[in-house]
Amino acid sequence: MRMVDMIEKKRDGHALTKEEIQFVITGYTEGSIPDYQMSAFQMAVYFQGMTVEETADFTMAIVESGDQVDLSAIDGVKVDKHSTGGVGDTTTLVLAPLVAALDIPVAKMSGRGLGHTGGTLDKLEAVPGFHIEITDKEFFDLVNTNKIAVIGQSGNITPADKKIYSLRDVTATVSSIPLIASSIMSKKIAAGSDAIVLDVKVGTGAFMKDLAMARELAEEMVQIGNQIGRHTMAVISDMNQPLGYAIGNALEVKEAVETLQGNGPEDLHELCLTLGSHMVRLAGKADSTEEARKMLEEVIQNGKALEVFKLFLRSQGGDTSVIDDLSKLPTAQYQIDVPAKESGFVSAITADEIGTAAMLLGAGRATKESEIDLAVGLVLHKKIGDPVKVGESIVTIHSNTEDVEAVKEKIYHAYDLSATEVGPVTLVHDEIT
């Protein structure tokens, strides 16, 4: 086979066979296919698209370019949840213990990412002593006994994706639906779970800015997953404002605990129940999402979900006295209120800018080497639709430096007020099975 023929075939709108796709991915990963040919190929995909079969083959070829996690030592149906990324998204912290409380195994692999706030792993490190340096055997044993554990990422997962993604970044081919879908799904499939619940975010603070695009991406990923034999479904949820009120590591742990106690923000609670009920259903623990939702509500009300969260933290060295007394979590030196400059109703909160404001405080990493400050972040007091009086605090900044002018500027910029009443936002736009 010759790469030039693959490029020509795709350029002219034909579908590649499985063998041809394997040739492209293997050759590019090994280095026998150069960047310039892969660039041309990706641009052809950008314009011509790929069929579901091609995208599934493309995904599997990426999966097979590296190691695959074997979770067969864990009993039961392993269900994973993946979010396409938002601001202040505390759902994983809540959902993991919540579904584990219903005996669904949660086997999470976590790495440190870049972003507005830390990853789940960074957030959990707000609990003193908590660590993920455990052996594979300890990890499997913990999941089998407690139904939940987190281990650091090891092995060489989807090397083809790393190479392809970097090339897409500099060739204007990031926003191709089949390329995004195969990139995300390859990582999920290599991570070894049996079933996958996707949370596709849509809105100003998300990768997908409009609903039609988000729906297309969600449908494509669901088709790929099911084609490959992993039960997959997607929820399309709103990211036109941050989820919940807290953005920051320790602040989000506090918010997650409150949500597990049934006292969390309405939108975070609702999204966790929506995603969680699909996880419970896919795990075979309930026949319908209605039944699953009742089961989840019960483990929140009877305290089991919070108990499982504490057991999980303790089993990995965490001091859970900070969960019993949330004021013992890392706390920033200064709490500075941001007063509204005028009265009105909140009509928009650009989640991206709120995220950048949190990052300026040190809540997230700009580069891999950045140090995270677990204590800092933002607590919003007003969400879309809320009435605001001039002088009233819209946000409290939690900072370890006194000068927060640049952060305030971002917050004022992120918030739009309207003189007239603003209707409520839709949280869950669609569910795709």
In the complex, the residues that contact ligand URA under the rule CB under 6 A are: 165, 179-180, 183-184, 207
379 CB-near residues (< 8 Å, 6+ apart): 245, 246, 247, 251, 395, 396, 398
264: contact with Ca ion by CB under 5 A: no
The residue (of 140 and 309) whose beta carbon lies closer to Ca ion is: 309
Least distance between ligand URA and beta carbon 354 (Å): 20
Among ligand URA, Ca ion, none, what binds residue 180 when CB lies within 5 to 8 Å by partner kind?
A: ligand URA
Alpha carbon separation from 322 to 11, 128, 212 (Å, rounded): 58, 8, 43
Among Ca ion, ligand URA, none, what binds residue 184 when CB lies within 5 to 8 Å by partner kind?
A: ligand URA
Least distance between ligand URA and beta carbon 168 (Å): 7
Among ligand URA, Ca ion, none, what binds residue 88 when CB lies within 5 to 8 Å by partner kind?
A: Ca ion
The residue (of 61 and 380) whose beta carbon lies closer to ligand URA is: 61
Based on the residue annotation, tell me whether 168 is a catalytic residue of this protein: yes
The residue (of 93 and 200) whose beta carbon lies closer to Ca ion is: 93
Of 112, 131, 187, 381, the catalytic one is 187
Based on the residue annotation, tell me whether 267 is a catalytic residue of this protein: no
137 CB-near residues (< 8 Å, 6+ apart): none
The residue (of 186 and 399) whose beta carbon lies closer to ligand URA is: 186
Query: Do the beta carbons of residue 334 and residue 310 sit within 8 Å?
Result: no
How many angstroms separate the CA atoms of 293 and 281, rounded?
Answer: 10
Q: Which tokens go with 110?
A: 């976590």
Among 59, 83, 90, 92, binds Ca ion (CB under 5 A): 90
Least distance between ligand URA and beta carbon 181 (Å): 8
The residue (of 69 and 179) whose beta carbon lies closer to ligand URA is: 179
Query: Do the beta carbons of residue 214 and residue 108 sit within 8 Å?
Result: no
Least distance between ligand URA and beta carbon 214 (Å): 12
Of 81, 82, 285, 383, the catalytic one is 82
Using the 8-state DSSP alphabet, how is residue 270 labeled? H
Using the 8-state DSSP alphabet, how is residue 364 labeled? S
Least distance between ligand URA and beta carbon 207 (Å): 6
**CA within 13 Å, CB half, 40:** 14
Least distance between Ca ion and beta carbon 328 (Å): 20
The residue (of 242 and 344) whose beta carbon lies closer to Ca ion is: 242
How many residues form the binding site for Ca ion (CB under 5 A)?
A: 4
Based on the residue annotation, tell me whether 183 is a catalytic residue of this protein: yes
Query: Do the beta carbons of residue 379 and residue 246 sit within 8 Å?
Result: yes
Based on the residue annotation, tell me whether 161 is a catalytic residue of this protein: yes
Least distance between Ca ion and beta carbon 50 (Å): 35
Instruction: For residue 59, give the nearest of 231, 193, 178, 204 by alpha carbon.
Output: 178
Instruction: For residue 268, give the nearest of 121, 427, 115 by alpha carbon.
Output: 427
Of 168, 231, 383, 410, the catalytic one is 168
The residue (of 58 and 245) whose beta carbon lies closer to ligand URA is: 58
Query: Do the beta carbons of residue 410 and residue 357 sit within 8 Å?
Result: yes
Based on the residue annotation, tell me whether 381 is a catalytic residue of this protein: no
Q: Which tokens go with 391?
A: 């002088």
Least distance between ligand URA and beta carbon 359 (Å): 19
118: contact with Ca ion by CB under 5 A: no
How many angstroms separate the CA atoms of 384 and 416, rounded?
Answer: 9
Among Ca ion, ligand URA, none, what binds residue 412 when CB lies within 5 to 8 Å by partner kind?
A: none
Query: Do the beta carbons of residue 251 and residue 398 sit within 8 Å?
Result: yes
Among Ca ion, ligand URA, none, what binds residue 244 when CB lies within 5 to 8 Å by partner kind?
A: Ca ion
The residue (of 116 and 168) whose beta carbon lies closer to Ca ion is: 116
Alpha carbon separation from 339 to 183, 250, 397 (Å, rounded): 42, 24, 11
Order of all β-strands in the sheet with 377-380: 246-248, 377-380, 393-399, 334-339
| Token pair 């997959």 in the structure block, residue | 232
244: contact with Ca ion by CB under 5 A: yes
- Residue with the shortest CB distance to Ca ion: 244
Among ligand URA, Ca ion, none, what binds residue 417 when CB lies within 5 to 8 Å by partner kind?
A: none
88: contact with Ca ion by CB under 5 A: yes
Per the document, the length of the chain is 433
- Residue with the shortest CB distance to ligand URA: 183
Query: Do the beta carbons of residue 126 and residue 254 sit within 8 Å?
Result: no
Of 89, 161, 238, 352, the catalytic one is 161
Pairing relationship of beta strands 231-238 and 428-432 according to DSSP bridges: antiparallel
Q: Provide the residue type at 198 as one letter.
A: L
Residues annotated catalytic, as ranges: 82, 161, 168, 183, 187
Residues that bind Ca ion (CB under 5 A): 88, 90, 244, 246
